[in-house]
Structure 1
Amino acid sequence: MTSLETVKNYYDAFNARNWSEMLALVDENITHEPNQGKTRIGKALFTDFMQHMDASYAETLKDIVLFSSTTEGRIAAEFVVHGTYKQAEPGLPPANGQNYVLPAAAFLDVKNGKITRVTTYYNLELWIELVSK
C-alpha cells in the first residue's frame, strides 16, 4: 500500500467512525501535533485524544484532497470539517449541539505502511465564532 492509500484509508476509517481500523494505521510511536496544545507521542496518548474528541465532537470530513510529495511518505490533506459540538471543553464556549463547517488541513508522515506523524491546522477563532452563534 502506498503512503497515499494509507492516508486515504485513515480518513475513510475516520469518516466511518471505525476507530479500531483508523488506529491500526497509526504507528506505535506516532507524533501528534494538534492545532492547540502539547504534542503527544505514542499510540496510547493518540488513542486517548481520539476518545476524548469522540465524546466532545461528532465530525465528518468532506471534500478531502490529498497531496503527495515527491518524497514517498509525506502527505498533505485539505478538507472541510462538518461537525457537531456535543460536550463543552475547558476554556471554550458551552456545547449544546451546535453544528459547524470549518476548513482544515493536516500533514502526515507514513513509514512502513503506518502513519508516524499527524499535524493538524484549523482556525480556532473561526470555530469559536461558529459555535457561539
Structure 2
Amino acid sequence: MHDATRQLIHDYYAAFNAGDMDRFLDLLTDDVVHDINQGGREVGREAFAAFMTRMNDSYREQLVDIEVMVNDDGTRAAAEFVVLGSYLKSDPGLPPARGQQYRLPAGAFFELRDGKVARISNYYNLEDWIQQVSA
C-alpha cells in the first residue's frame, strides 16, 4: 500500500508540473474534496477543474523538493515541497500581478480511496507570498 500511495502522489505532482490537466484530474475521485488554503471547501472533480483553470490563468508554478509521507495503511499521505512560481494575472483581492517570481514552502494532506485522491488540503503562508509579490 505504501508504494502505491507514494506513487499516486508523485504521479499527481508530475502531472501538475507537466501541465497535464487531463492526467492530473484523472487522478481524483469524482467526489474529491478540496480544502483551499485559507479559503473554503469545494467538492467534486468539476469544481476542482474550474479552480485549476483559474489558477493556471493567474499563476505558472513548478513544485520542487517534493517529499511524500504515507500512513501505515496507505489511505492518507502528506507532502512537503517548494513552489517556484510566476504571478501572471491579478487575482481578485490580492496584489496586482506584474510577472513577479516567488519561492514558497508549502504542504498538502491527502486522503486516498480506490487508487485516487479523495481529499486534498493545501497549505502555505499567504502573508509570505504577499510580501514576495509586493516587493
The interval holding the TM-score normalised by the smaller chain is over 0.9
Match of 1:39 in 2: 41
Match of 1:11 in 2: 13
Deviation at 1:36, TM superposition (A): 2.2
Deviation at 1:3, TM superposition (A): 1.5
Deviation at 1:100, TM superposition (A): 0.1
Percentage identity across aligned positions?
A: 44
Match of 2:115 in 1: 113
Deviations 1:50-93 (A, max 9, x none): 00000000000000000011131101000000000001111110
Q: How does 1:1-133 map to 2 (within 5 A)?
A: 2-133=4-135
Code of the aligned partner of 2:11: N
RMSD: 0.9
Deviations 1:1-28 (A, max 9, x none): 7111111100000001111011110000
Distance 2:18 2:59 in 1: 14
Q: Please, what TM-score do these two structures have when normalized by structure 2? A: 0.96
Structure 1 unaligned segments of length 5 or more: list them.
none
Distance 1:19 1:73 in 2: 23
Distance 1:127 1:72 in 2: 32
Aligned length: 133
Distance 1:71 1:34 in 2: 25
Distance 1:100 1:78 in 2: 17
Structure 2 unaligned segments of length 5 or more: list them.
none
Superposed structure 1 runs of 4+ greater than 6 Å apart: none
